[in-house]
Amino acid sequence: MHVTRLGLQINNFSYGASGQGDVADLFPTVVAQAQEADASGFDSVFVMDHFYQLPGIGTPDQPMLEAYTALGALASVTEHVQLGTLVTGNTYRNPTLLAKNITTLDVISQGRAILGIGTGWFELEHDQLGYEFGTFTDRFDKLGEALQIILPMLKGERPTFSGKYYRVEEAMANPRFRDHIPLMIGGSGEKKTIPLAAQHFDHLNVIAGFDELAKKVEVVKQRCEAIDRDPATLETSMLVGAVVGEGISPDLIPDDFKQRMVAGSVEQIAEQIQTKVLDAGIDGVILFVPTQTVGYQPGQISALGEALKPLVGG
């Protein structure tokens, strides 16, 4: 099974309205989106691992669900899609807790969990919620230590580890549904992230603009070949925003987002995904559909799935 060739990211929980009166409708709307994806050919559904809404999507006080609680609930109302975060901020959880989060999700979902993980980057969350932020090098080194704990635990091993940031003694995670949970990392750094992806991961979600993708794909190839790994075994994807609607043109996308969003009819979006993403050598696409102003529009996700699934294969 592919890690993800066609994914849906649910990154917004406001749905065009605000206020306490809407909270009762919030999770049923999340479920409706995940079930549309499940029924229309998407192979994965992701949520963000954040506690505050992100800049560019909304304000920090807008609704944000805790990721693994939400994914556990989605596991019980879907049948086919894999479930994960795009991506877990390593700084938010002790690695043994994250290993338990993801093995539990895998048991609940009957083997549909994906472990997406990255260094963490949203400084406001760290500052306000009391998580240590540090420098990028600090966070990258911390992730490196965490992987030395998490990866053995996911295989059923019992690691003992003592590092600068973490210490564990014969840590274990039981029950486990399977011995390998697909591993995804997000980023595009050519000196640190891509080499780490080549070393440990099944999937790299490339965080870059459309015009940078071909270069990033070439770097992925080089980094894999440098360690004698077949580049085809490290899948790639890009997170792309899709503004769907007849009469909507790519010209309406703000300049700041033109390198990461597509717009138009479902057919036009499929054509843009092909030329901007897949033709650059990226294996798959993870879509988010902006909902904060117009709300959730039933049928859009299904239409996107049916149009895009033939492009990315089974």
**pLDDT (tens digit, 9 = 90+) per residue, 207-256?**
999 999 999 999 999 999 999 999 999 999 999 999 998 888 888 888 88
pLDDT > 70: what percent of the chain?
97
**pLDDT (tens digit, 9 = 90+) per residue, 42-68?**
999 999 999 999 998 889 999 999 999
What are the backbone angles phi and psi of residue 133, rounded to the nearest 5°?
-95, -60
> Which pLDDT does position 232 carry in this prediction?
94
> Which pLDDT does position 14 carry in this prediction?
86
278 closest CA partner among 307, 247, 251, 312: 312
> Which pLDDT does position 1 carry in this prediction?
57
> Which pLDDT does position 23 carry in this prediction?
86
Taking 70 as the pLDDT cut, the residues of the chain under it are 1, 16-21, 292-293, 314
> Which pLDDT does position 254 carry in this prediction?
81
The answer regarding whether domain 6-127+181-312 maps to CATH 3.20.20.30 reads yes
Sketch the domain layout of the chain as residue ranges: 6-127+181-312
* Residue for token pair 């083997």: 111
> Which pLDDT does position 314 carry in this prediction?
55
**Is the preceding peptide bond at 175 cis, omega within 30 degrees of 0?**
yes
> Which pLDDT does position 21 carry in this prediction?
47
> Which pLDDT does position 185 carry in this prediction?
95
Token code pair at residue 212: 């940078």
